[in-house]
């Protein structure tokens, strides 16, 4: 028996997959000079668009990682995050996409991306994705 996802209110696969393969700016890196330490980057001005309603989403993205050979370069990370501003993408997908792109860019020892999204309709979401 296969499990089929149930959709309500007109949500469909197009909405669910929105933004996950959209082209975004590259996140640049620079060579790490030390081992065994952690970096936390907090981005309090994250914005994107709900792929169903077209309404803006606001939140804070926190990237916490242990670098291996490379560290994330912050200006390129800022440009990468700003590219979400006009992108239709669900919270869950954006957090997982950021993690995927961070891991691709710098191949950290480990990484965690947390999205803390502003309350809408009385609900606030916190999404967390980890590597490995």
Per-residue pLDDT reduced to its tens digit, 64-107:
999 999 999 999 999 999 999 999 999 999 999 999 999 999 99
Only one residue has tokens 């995050």, namely: 81
Q: Is 91 annotated as a binding residue?
A: yes
Catalytic residue among 13, 26, 50, 70, which? Answer: 50
**What is the set of domains in the chain, with CATH numbers?**
27-131 (3.30.1130.10)
> Would you state the pLDDT for residue 4?
54
3-state DSSP helix/strand/coil % of the chain, to nearest 5: 25, 35, 40
Residues 6 or more apart in contact with residue 74 via CB below 8 angstroms: 41
Contact (CB, 8 A) for 115 and 91: yes
Contact (CB, 8 A) for 128 and 111: no
Query: Does 71 qualify as catalytic in the annotation?
Result: no
Q: Is 123 annotated as a binding residue?
A: no
Q: Is 9 annotated as a binding residue?
A: no
């Amino acid at each position: 028996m296969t499990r089929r996802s149930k959709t309500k209110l007109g949500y469909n696969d197009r909405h669910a997959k929105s933004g996950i393969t959209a082209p975004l700016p590259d996140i640049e890196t620079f060579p790490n000079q030390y081992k065994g330490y952690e970096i936390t980057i907090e981005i309090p001005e994250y914005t994107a668009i709900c792929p169903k309603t077209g309404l803006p989403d606001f939140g804070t993205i926190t990237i916490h990682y242990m670098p291996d050979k490379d560290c994330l370069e912050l200006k390129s990370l800022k440009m990468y995050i700003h590219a979400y501003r006009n992108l239709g993408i669900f919270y869950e997908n954006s957090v997982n996409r950021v993690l995927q792109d961070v891991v691709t860019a710098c191949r950290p020892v480990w990484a965690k991306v947390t999205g803390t999204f502003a309350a809408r309709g009385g609900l606030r979401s916190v999404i967390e994705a980890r590597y490995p």
